Amino acid sequence: MSPAAAQVAVPRRHPRHAPAPASTPRHLRLVEPPARAPRVAARPAPRVTRRVALAIGGAVVFAVLFAVAVLQTQNVAGQMHLDRVQQDISDRQAQAQALRLEAAELSAPERIVGEAERLGMAVPAGGPTFVNQVPLPETDGATAQVDPAQLAAAEAEVSLDETAAGALDPVATP
């Protein structure tokens, strides 16, 4: 081989990777490694056996099923309470309806007339009458001046038809 071929065969190194020249002093020195503490053998992680895994899984399933049973029991108890309250409401509504019917029957005019006749009350010959009352004006010790026509109008009997039609005598109203 020629010297030119030998130079080609040797790969060229990058300057960073080139060996340092022997003439440069090295600032690094070789140091002995520190004394090491004796190594403790690491324990392997405890393995869960199949029996333990099945026991834990069974306990979890049991706990979940027990919780579901408790919640269902609470749900049923709440529904029973709701049913009792609804039944109570419907009973009270029926009772209120019966009381309204009884009040309507007791306030019927035929029943009132019958009860009045049973007690010995009699209907006047001209029908029921109403009396308009005009209150006397209050006085502070002085004699009140009252028009006799007002007193006569206040004591006059008014028939049921006149009362239903409204006030006929403007003097009778205060």
CB hemisphere CA count around 86 (13 angstroms)? 6
Residue with tokens 């895994």: 53
Number of separate domains in the chain: 1
3-state helix, strand, coil in the chain (%, to 5): 50, 5, 45
Residue 116 within any structural domain of the chain: yes
CA dihedral (14, 19, 22, 23) positive or negative: positive
Contact 90, 121 (CB under 8 A): no
Residue 46 within any structural domain of the chain: no
How far is it, in rounded angstroms, from Cα 32 to Cα 29?
10
Residue 5 within any structural domain of the chain: no
172 contacts: CB under 8 Å, gap ≥ 6 = 132, 134, 150, 153, 154
Q: What is the pLDDT of residues 36-85, one digit of tens each?
A: 777 777 777 777 789 999 999 999 999 999 999 999 999 999 999 999 99
Length of the chain: 174
Residue 69 within any structural domain of the chain: yes
Residue 93 within any structural domain of the chain: yes
Residue 97 within any structural domain of the chain: yes
Q: 21-35, 87-101, 156-170 — which is least confidently predicted?
A: 156-170
User: 137 — phi, psi (to 5°)?
Assistant: -65, 145
Range of the domain at 68: 51-121
Residue 62 within any structural domain of the chain: yes
Q: What is the pLDDT of residues 116-168, one digit of tens each?
A: 889 988 877 777 776 777 766 665 555 556 566 665 555 555 555 444 445 54
Contact 131, 158 (CB under 8 A): yes
Quote the tokens at residue 99: 């009381």
Specify the pTM.
0.38
Residue 135 within any structural domain of the chain: no
DSSP string, 16-63: TTSPPPTTSPP-----PPPPPPPPPPPPPPPPPPHHHHHHHHHHHHHH
